[in-house]
Amino acid sequence: MGDGTHVQKDPASCLRQQELVAETQRHLIRLAELAKQEAEAIATRDETLILALDQDIENTLGLKERSLGALHEHRNQHNC
């Protein structure tokens, strides 16, 4: 387009979008793994592990939120 914006004709061919989707999916999968581990730690009353896993969950959730936000922003800017 002449106004300097980029409009993606085929969203499936947008490499950056694919990277952001994969990154977000990795964080979601990791969250599921951590949640399962924390549930097991709660069942066994392993307080040290619970605290460590809870911190990992919070950090991973932040990473997921940032990657999902970047994906939304990219899609809005490029019509992917």
User: What would the pLDDT profile of 19-58 be if each residue is shown by its tens digit?
Assistant: 999 999 999 999 999 999 999 999 999 999 999 999 999 9
Contacts of 20 (CB under 8 A, 6+ apart): 67, 70, 71, 74
Residue 7 lies inside a defined structural domain of this protein: no
Residue 18 lies inside a defined structural domain of this protein: yes
Residue 19 lies inside a defined structural domain of this protein: yes
DSSP 8-state assignment for residue 6 = -
Residue 52 lies inside a defined structural domain of this protein: yes
How many domains does one find in the chain?
Answer: 1
Could you tell me the residue range of the domain that residue 18 belongs to?
14-78
Per-residue burial over 51-80, b if 16 or more Cβ lie within 10 Å, else e, is eebeebbeebeeebeebbeebeebbeeeeb
Residue 8 lies inside a defined structural domain of this protein: no
**CA 14 to chain CA centroid, nearest Å:** 18
pTM: 0.79
